[in-house]
């Protein structure tokens, strides 16, 4: 089952609090995760920022909007309880509770008006999460925008790599491996890669700064899909050097047979295709630069502890 959106969580959250008791926020997260039969992977899925699990974040926004509508309230930090208005709503046995439902409450309409009056054109995209047609939390929208921008950057970066010279592609591979912690110094890596001249091997690089082990590299700036014969050739070259570790990097993709073969043999061969190559370059800031940063903040509850 996929992770429910925050509007889907509103009614179950209200029902959880229906007995009028005061609950910890963590209690409802655990209860709703069980109710929606979420897997461990779904429970642990994080926002792109890595700051919070997606499910916890959506439960939090469901609680926030219910509170803004006056259906929930909090008497102290980290706790909440249902209000008279919330109990009255449940008494009507609604089939669902969503933003359209909340829009019937004066407090929620006032909340929406405050957000819009406070915002400008630059913030209106974030404020759209309180419109009835929206199913995304602000973090969901930021994550979606980030993923779109990253995907477009990966495609643009791949085209740039394909149009570069073979020598520059070699430099890209060196820079990436060094940024990832391989090859020792940039100078050491530059001397090592591309110097073996052995069929099936384009370079050798240190696995660690001390050079306790080495990794053999094959790098192909190709348009065609890499098949099993190329991986077999590379594996054979590794055996000829009594090596047990290799990285095959291509700007294209691999056939299923190539991928299956690399997983069957004793020699450890890592296959990196064009998209993974650009993803690693972005993660390690190779060939890309930052043009801006958006810092998302939250209340520092520890600051208010001594109030």
Taking only the tens place, the pLDDT of each residue in 78-120 is 899 999 999 999 999 999 999 999 999 999 988 887 766 654 4
Q: In this prediction, what percent of the chain has a pLDDT beyond 70? A: 84
Q: Is residue 209 part of a domain?
A: yes
Say yes or no: 79 and 165 in one domain: no
Q: Which of 177-181, 208-212, 299-303 has the lowest mean pLDDT?
A: 299-303
> Which pLDDT score is estimated for 113?
79
| Structural domain includes residue 273 | yes
Q: Is residue 93 part of a domain?
A: yes
Neighbouring CB atoms inside 10 A of 19's CB total: 10
Q: Which neighbouring-strand residues pair with 82?
A: 72
Judge whether 224 lies within some domain.
yes
How much is the mean pLDDT over the chain? 83
Residues 175 and 126 in one domain: no
User: Is residue 40, in this structure, part of any structural domain at all?
Assistant: yes
Q: How many DSSP H helices and E strands does the chain contain?
A: 14, 7
Q: Residue 300: inside a domain, yes or no?
A: no
Asked if the structure places residue 36 within a domain, the reply is yes
Neighbours of 143 (CB within 10 A): 18
Residues 129 and 45 both lie in one domain: yes
Sequence-distant (6+) residues with CB within 8 A of 112 are 103, 130
| Secondary structure (3-state) at 44 | helix
Order of strands across the sheet that contains 245-250: 203-206, 214-220, 245-250, 268-272
Least confident of 153-162, 171-180, 186-195, 245-254: 186-195
| Range 135-141 contact pairs with CB under 8 angstroms and sequence separation of 24 or more | 135/5, 135/6, 135/7, 136/5, 137/6, 137/57, 137/58, 137/61, 138/61, 139/47, 139/49, 139/52, 139/54, 139/57, 139/296, 140/5, 140/54, 140/58
What pLDDT does 23 receive?
A: 94
Q: What 3-state DSSP class applies to 250?
A: strand
Q: pTM of the entire structure?
A: 0.60
The answer to whether residues 164 and 94 belong to one domain is no
Cα–Cα distance between 262 and 240 in angstroms, integer? 17
Q: 20 and 112, same structural domain?
A: yes
Quick one: 184 and 129 in the same domain?
Answer: no
**Cα dihedral 48, 53, 55, 57 in deg (nearest 10):** -80
Dihedral sign (CA 264, 270, 275, 276): positive
Longest Cα separation, the chain: 79
Instruction: Give the tens place of pLDDT for each residue, 27-52.
Output: 999 999 999 999 999 999 988 777 78
Domain that holds residue 199: 160-283
pLDDT at 121: 37
Write out the two tokens for 165. 């010279």
Question: Which pLDDT score is estimated for 73?
Answer: 93
Question: Would you say residue 239 has pLDDT above 60?
Answer: yes
**The most confident of 175-179, 195-199, 204-208, by mean pLDDT:** 175-179
What is the SS3 assignment for 265?
Answer: coil
Q: Burial-class residue 252 by CB neighbours within 10 Å (0-12, 13-18, 19+).
A: middle
Q: What is the CATH number of the domain that holds 165?
A: 3.40.1350.10
The pLDDT value given to residue 12: 97
Asked whether residue 196 falls in the same domain as residue 130, the answer is no
Are 193 and 242 part of one and the same domain?
yes
Q: Is the dihedral of CA 113, 115, 119, 123 positive or negative?
A: negative
pLDDT score, position 168: 87
- The number of folded domains in the chain is 2
In a domain, 304, yes or no: no
Asked which of 153-157, 199-203, 243-247 is least confident by mean pLDDT, the reply is: 199-203
Calpha distance 82→67 (Å, rounded): 9
What pLDDT band is residue 137 in, cutting at 50, 70 and 90?
Answer: confident
Q: Which residues pair with 204 in a beta bridge?
A: 216
Pairwise CA distance, residues 72 & 100, whole Å: 17
pLDDT of 298 reads 73
């Amino acid at each position: 089952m996929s992770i429910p959106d925050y509007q889907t969580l509103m009614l179950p959250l209200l029902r959880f609090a229906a007995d009028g008791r005061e609950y910890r926020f963590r209690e409802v997260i655990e209860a709703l995760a069980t109710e929606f039969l979420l897997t461990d992977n779904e429970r642990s899925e994080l926002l792109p920022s890595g700051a919070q699990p997606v499910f916890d974040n959506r439960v939090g926004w469901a609680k926030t909007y219910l509170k803004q509508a006056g259906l929930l309230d909090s008497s102290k930090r980290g706790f909440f309880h249902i209000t008279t208005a919330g109990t009255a709503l449940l008494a009507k046995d609604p089939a669902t509770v969503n933003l359209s439902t909340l829009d019937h409450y004066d407090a929620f309409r006032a909340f929406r008006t405050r957000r819009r009056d406070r915002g400008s054109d630059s913030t209106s995209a974030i404020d759209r999460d309180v419109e009835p047609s929206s199913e995304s939390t602000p973090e969901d929208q930021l994550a979606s925008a980030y993923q779109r921008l990253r995907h477009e950057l990966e495609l643009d970066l791949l085209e740039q790599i394909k149009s570069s010279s073979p020598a520059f592609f070699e430099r890209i591979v060196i820079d990436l491996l060094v940024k990832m912690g391989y090859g020792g110094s940039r100078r050491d890596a530059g001397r090592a890669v591309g110097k073996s001249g052995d069929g099936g091997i384009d370079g050798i690089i240190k696995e660690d700064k001390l050079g306790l082990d080495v990794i053999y590299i094959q790098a192909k700036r190709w348009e065609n899909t890499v098949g099993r014969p190329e991986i077999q050739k590379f594996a054979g070259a590794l055996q000829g050097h009594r090596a047990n570790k290799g990285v095959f990097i291509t700007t294209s993709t691999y056939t299923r047979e190539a991928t299956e073969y690399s997983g069957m043999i004793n020699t450890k061969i890592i296959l990196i295709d064009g998209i993974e190559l650009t993803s690693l370059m972005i993660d390690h800031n190779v060939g890309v630069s930052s043009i801006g940063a958006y810092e998302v903040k939250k209340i520092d509850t520890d600051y208010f502890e001594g109030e």
